[in-house]
Chain A
Amino acid sequence: MATSVPQIVEVDCSTGIATTRDMTADELAAQAKMQADQAATMAAQQAAADAKAAAQASAAAKLTKLGLTADEIAALQS
């Protein structure tokens, strides 16, 4: 059974003709690198967002113990 190669649509601007073709080796390599890079980037962004949320929750708990209201804490964190 033949291996399925991902395809790309190429639009020739000189003729207006669109052709669906197999991706070249260079295009496949670029695709693989992009997906790996993006997975790493999104993981880092999620980790940063999680760390920020945890720090905000910790700060809110400490501020509550100091007597600040929920509205006052929200104002500080906005």
Chain B
Amino acid sequence: MANTMTKLGSQTATAQQYGFTFSSIPQTYTDLVLRISARSSYAAVFDGPAIFFNGVTSGYGRRTLGGNGTSNYASSNTSGSYLYLDNSIPAANASANVFGVMTIYIPNYANTSYYKAVNCEAVMETNGSASNITLTAGSWSSTSNITSLTVYSGSGNFVANSEFTLYGIKNS
């Protein structure tokens, strides 16, 4: 069980912004966690951000399970160019001023012996329409330690006041 959580970097969009990269990630922690509060400018109810590591655009797989109160859905892909977080933040056609919340957990990111696993939980509530919850199980088929992490908004831009904070976690 983690007993430390240290902020490694944080950024807030001051205007529309397509993406963020956290580079020179220290290798001295056990796990990483990225907390996001965001909304997209894309002309739809949802947008699907994506992440990739070390600038590498290959080897990503994921399965997403989602529910919105009236129906459930699932989607997946293998051998992707990025880890796609399907339907996980509100976009331009969602209720005004609603931001989604995401937690992306990456255990053992500094390990060089086995592939990396990613857990992403995303929720949004729009006070009457288009509530949505997604859970994405992801993987990166690489034994490389993670030294940088990039987040793209998907089809639109992250709007102003979207926030991104990366933490390092130690379990001892």
Contact = CB atoms under 8 A, between A and B. Distances in A.
A69 to B, nearest CB: 21
A76 interface: no
B164 to A, nearest CB: 8
Contact of B20 (A11, A15, A30, A39): A11
Interface stretch (B79-87, B103-111, B123-131, B137-145): B79-87
**Contact residue range for chain B?**
20 to 34
B10 A11 contact: yes
B132 to A, nearest CB: 13
Given A13-B25, A27-B150, A6 B166 contact: no
Interface in B1-53: 8-11, 13, 17-26, 44, 47-48, 50, 52
A41 to B, nearest CB: 7
Interface centre among A10, A14, A18 (most CB of B within 10 A): A10
Nearest to A34: B50
A13 B9 contact: yes
Contacts, number: 87
- Which applies to chain B's interface (DSSP): helix, strand, loop or mixed? strand
A41 B10 CA distance: 31
A26 interface: yes
B24 A34 contact: no
Nearest to B70: A78
Interface in B115-171: 150, 152, 154-155, 166
Contacts of A12: 9, 23-24
